[in-house]
Amino acid sequence: MEEKPKAVLIVGGGIAGIQAALDLGDMGIKVHLVERKPSIGGRMAQLDKTFPTNDCSICILAPKLADCFRHPNITLHTLSEVKEVMGQMGDFSVKLRKYARFVDEKKCVNCGDCAAKCPVKVPDEFDMELRKREAIYPYYLQGVPAVMTIDRENCLYLTREVCRICEKFCTREAIDFEQKDTDVMLNVGAIIVATGFDPYDPSGIPQYGYKRYRNVIISLEYERLICASGPTGGHLLRPSDDKPAEKIAFVQCVGSRDFKNNPYCSSVCCMHAIKEAILAYEHDPKVKSYIFYMDLRATGKGFQEYVARGEQEYNISYIRGRVAKITKDHDENPTVWYEETQSSKTKKMTTDLAVLATSLMPRRGVKELAKTLGVELDEYNFFKTDPFNPLDTTRPGIFVCGCCREPTDIPESVAQASGAAERAAETVMR
C-alpha cells in the first residue's frame, strides 16, 4: 500500500481514549486525541485505587499518559472540543475548537510559582470541590501535559482587567494573555468516541440528604478523600469535623436500578464500594464498613473472590436491603434506615460517614456531541450500538468505547478501546 493511512480522531482523553490512541499509534497510524479538560487522564486519574487488584490508579495510568504525550504518532489536543464533522467514513473533515490556555505550553515548567501567588480561590473540580484552587492551576498533580492553565471564568485579568500577578511571578515568561481560541481543521478517516461518564447527582433523591448533610458523600468524593494526593492527604476525615471515619455505610444503587432515575445497572458500583471499604480498612483497621446492596454483582475476573475477601479479611458486612432514607443526629452522624430483607425487619444504623454509590451517566453535553457527530444515542443517552457490532455507532466510520457506551469498569473499557482501535484501523487502512 503506497498511500499513507488517514489519521484517526479520538474524542475523550480518559483511559479508553488513551488506550485506543496508543494502540493506533503503535500500529503506525496518526492519531488526534481530543480532550475538553486541560489535561488527559479522565475519571481514572481521580480514583485512588482500582479493583480487584488494589493497584494505585494513577501509578498504572501515568505511564500511559506519558506514552501518549511522547508518542510520535499521537497529537494531543487538550482544552479542545469537536465543533463540526463533515464527510463520511474514510474522509471526515473535523473542525476543532482549541481554547486558549493563556499559558505557553512550551515555556511553562509547572513550577507552581504563579499559583502560589494567584489571589483567586475557587472550588477544585478535579478534587470534587472538596478544596479550593487558584485561577491559574494544574488540572491535577500528574496531569499531562504538565503545564498550568488559566481558568478564564475566574481569572481577574480575563474577567476584570486587574491583577496580572501570575505574570509578574513567572520567571519563564510563560503567561500569555494574548492567546486566542483557534479553530483547527483535521482530515481523518475514522473517529472513536470515548467521552466517559458523569456521576449522578443524588440531590435528586432528597431522602438521602446529599448536600444537606455534610457526612453524606458520593463515591467519587470518597476516592479523592482517601487518595494521598487528595485534599486531606489521604486521611479519611469526614467533612463535618475532620474526625476519622470509623464506621462507614456504603449505600448502593443510588440513581441506578431506580425507575424514577436510571433503570439500568451501573455495573461498577458493587465492586468499587467493596474496594473503597477495603481501602478504609487498610488505612485504619478500626474501620468497620457496611455495604447496603440489592444484589452484589461481581461478574468479572477475580471479582467474586474480592467480595469474599472483603468480608473475611477487611471487616466488611454485606447487608441486603435498600436504604429508604438517611437522617442525621446532633453530631452530624448519618443514620441509615433500611429494610434488612434476610429478616424482613426495618432497622436503622448510625454511622460516621455514608457513601452513596451514584449511578454512572453520560457526560453532560453528550447530546450536543452526538448531534455534531451525526450519531444516535440510546434512551439513556449512551451511544447507541447493536449487540453484534458492539463498538460501532449508528454512523459508519465512528466507533465508541468505554463509559459513554454503557457503564463499564476499567479492564472492560481498555478491552473495548483496543477493539475500537482495531475497528478504526480497519477503516483507515482499507
Question: How many CA atoms lie within 13 Å of 325's alpha carbon, on the beta-carbon side?
Answer: 4
Instruction: Answer yes or no whether residue 33 interacts with another protein by CB under 8 A.
Output: no
Instruction: Answer yes or no whether residue 130 interacts with another protein by CB under 8 A.
Output: yes
Instruction: Answer yes or no whether residue 367 interacts with another protein by CB under 8 A.
Output: no
- What is the C-alpha separation between 226 and 35, in angstroms, rounded? 26
Q: Which is nearer to another protein, 151 or 276 (CB)?
A: 151
Identify any residues that bridge with 55 across adjacent strands, giving them in sequence order: 50
Could you tell me which stretch among 189-197, 233-241, 266-274, 334-342 binds another protein (CB under 8 A)? Answer: 233-241
Residue 229 has which C-alpha cell? 494526593
Could you say which of 66, 116, 184, 324 contacts another protein (CB under 8 A)? Answer: 116
Instruction: Answer yes or no whether residue 125 interacts with another protein by CB under 8 A.
Output: no
Contacts of 299 (CB under 8 A, 6+ apart): none
Under 8 Å between Cβ of 395 and 235: no
Instruction: Answer yes or no whether residue 231 interacts with another protein by CB under 8 A.
Output: yes
CB of 315 to another protein, least distance (A): 24
Could you tell me which stretch among 33-41, 88-96, 163-171, 421-429 binds another protein (CB under 8 A)? Answer: 163-171
- What is the C-alpha separation between 86 and 95, in angstroms, rounded? 9
Could you tell me which stretch among 7-15, 44-52, 228-236, 309-317 binds another protein (CB under 8 A)? Answer: 228-236
DSSP at 19: H
Could you tell me which stretch among 6-14, 85-93, 137-145, 344-352 binds another protein (CB under 8 A)? Answer: 137-145
Q: Where are the alpha helices (DSSP H) in 315-377?
A: 366-373
Contacts of 267 (CB under 8 A, 6+ apart): 297, 360, 406, 407, 408, 409
Instruction: Answer yes or no whether residue 121 interacts with another protein by CB under 8 A.
Output: yes
CB of 347 to another protein, least distance (A): 28
Could you say which of 70, 106, 160, 180 contacts another protein (CB under 8 A)? Answer: 160
CB of 62 to another protein, least distance (A): 15
Size of the site for another protein (CB under 8 A): 39
DSSP at 250: E
Residue 205 has which C-alpha cell? 433523591
Neighbours of 118 (CB within 10 A): 23
Instruction: Answer yes or no whether residue 122 interacts with another protein by CB under 8 A.
Output: yes
Under 8 Å between Cβ of 94 and 82: yes
Residue 92 has which C-alpha cell? 471526515
Instruction: Answer yes or no whether residue 2 interacts with another protein by CB under 8 A.
Output: no
Distances (CA, A) of 71 to 8, 64, 66, 422: 14, 10, 8, 18
Q: Which is nearer to another protein, 242 or 386 (CB)?
A: 242
Under 8 Å between Cβ of 288 and 315: yes
Could you say which of 16, 20, 163, 414 contacts another protein (CB under 8 A)? Answer: 163
By CB under 8 A, the residues from 241 to 260 that bind another protein are: 241-242
Over the window 283 to 322, marking each residue x when it contacts another protein by CB under 8 A and - when it does not, the resulting string is ----------------------------------------
Could you say which of 63, 72, 162, 344 contacts another protein (CB under 8 A)? Answer: 162
